[in-house]
Structure 1
Amino acid sequence: MSTALTTNKRTKGQHSALTQLRQQGAIPGVVYGYQVESTPISIDAKKFAKILSEQGSNGVFQLELEGEKINAVLSEVQRDALKGFVKHVDFQVINMAEDLEVSVPVTTTGDSVGVAEGGLLLQPIREITIKVKPNAIPEAIEVDVTNLAIGSSLTVGDIRSQQAYDILNDDEEVLITVAAPTVEEEAPVETEEVTEEVEE
């Protein structure tokens, strides 16, 4: 399933022109890739924010550019370092018949027995890279942590055979682990020796 997004071709301008574009509620960007020349574009900022909020950034976008519809994926989203708004986007036009390498989030399902015993669920890796057809990109890879006890971990190798996707990460990479609860040691109470002075 692809998400429709209207784009407007723009003329490459200086920094002031890009700032003005953003003030008008648009995001500057560029489209490049399969059978397409690199083309500067702009998109509606509110609509793009809504798509990211509801559907994420991993899907295929059907871009409408000068009356033509093309399939593309987001290759880069640049955000303002201070305010966090999207300041520039790059779309890569793709061939829907060829596999893509994409990063997808890892989510957990189930209640870990280790956590029930007081352990702490840690997730060192929150995304993995898979190779997949564009129309089959998942929103996330789910990992069942139900049987994960304190001191146990799940690696990429543990879930590889359970997935329908070609995972490109190394088998040794740890996805989920349950750490033992940390016990805060009470500081010893120091006793002061009181010496009494005897007046003669």
Structure 2
Amino acid sequence: MSVTLKATKRADHARSTTRKLRESGQVPAVVYGKDKESKSVAVDSIELVKTVRDEGRNAVISLDIANDTPVDVMLHDYQMDSIKDELIHADFYVVNMAEEMDVAVAVRLEGEPQGVKDGGVLQQALYEVQVRAKPNQIPEEITVDVSSLDTGDILTVKDLPKAANYEILDDEESTVVTILTPTTDEDVEGIENEDAEPELVGEAQTERNED
């Protein structure tokens, strides 16, 4: 089931008009898809952020465009103003609910590994995997229990939970999690630095002239 987000058509692409649009709490956006004509629209910034926060990045959104036919879309990309920390542009991709598509899905670890309790260090090498599924069957995230992992254990893609309604495309032997035993304080600091989760695409991008 998709969530509804209201939108209005946008005909004037002048920089001054776009600036006023943002000042009023709206975000300029583009709607496009395979064999679909691109449309320029605007959506409420707060409503878009709330929708993505509540429903997930891969949620199917019914974009209710004023004076036009609603379309099922997914948020494909977005740009942020890194100084003001404001959403400044969004790209929506029109989806076919009957066709499978490939998307990135987050991997979430659950539980405290036995190896960590014994002094080891957890290193997560893979924070998301590529998944193929129909739009309304894409999991919000893939959760894996790591509480049984001991020092020296490695969890790979093939160990992730499987489901009939989606397929994980990554190499089955790709490492997701390793429980390491550091030998020095320097090793611990190095592992912690390497274990920092990479920044999501689009979050630190500055304003681009796409309007």
TM-score, normalised relative to structure 1: 0.85
What are the residue-to-residue correspondences of 1:123-134 with 2, within 5 Å? Answer: 123-134=124-135
Instruction: For 1:16 and 1:129, locate their aligned partners in 2 and report how far apart those are by CA, in whole Å.
Output: 39
User: Which is greater in Rg?
Assistant: 1
Segment drifting more, 151-160 vs 171-180:
151-160
Per-residue deviation, 1:36: 3.2
Stretches of structure 1 that go unaligned for 5 or more consecutive residues are: 186-200
Q: AA paired with 1:54? A: D
Query: Is the contact made by 2:52 and 2:59 (CA closer than 8 Å) also made in structure 1?
Result: no
Counterpart secondary structure, 1:97: coil
Quote the Cα distance in structure 1 between the aligned partners of 2:59 and 2:51. 10
- Alignment correspondent of 1:57: 57
Find the residue that maps to 2:70 and give its secondary structure.
strand
8 Å contact kept, 1:34–1:95: no
- The CA deviation at 1:30 is 0.4
- The one-letter amino acid of 2:158's match is G
Matches within 5 A, 1:30-41: 30-34=30-34, 36-41=36-41
Moved more, 89-98 or 5-14: 5-14
Please give the per-residue CA displacement for 1:40-63, whole angstroms capped at 9, x wherever unaligned.
000001111211222221110001
In structure 2, stretches of 5+ residues that fail to align are 187-211
Paired-residue identity, %: 39
Tell me: higher relative CO, structure 1 or 2? Use CA pairs within 8 A at least 6 residues apart.
2
The number of aligned residues is 184
Q: Which residue of 2 aligns with 1:158?
A: 159
Within a 5 Å distance, the mapping from 1:92-111 to structure 2 comes to 92-111=93-112
State the partner residue of 2:118.
117
- Contact 1:103–1:127 (8 Å) recurs in 2: yes
State the SS of the aligned residue for 1:178. strand
What's the C-alpha RMSD, in Å, of the aligned pairs?
Answer: 1.8
Aligned pair 1:25/2:25, yes or no?
A: yes
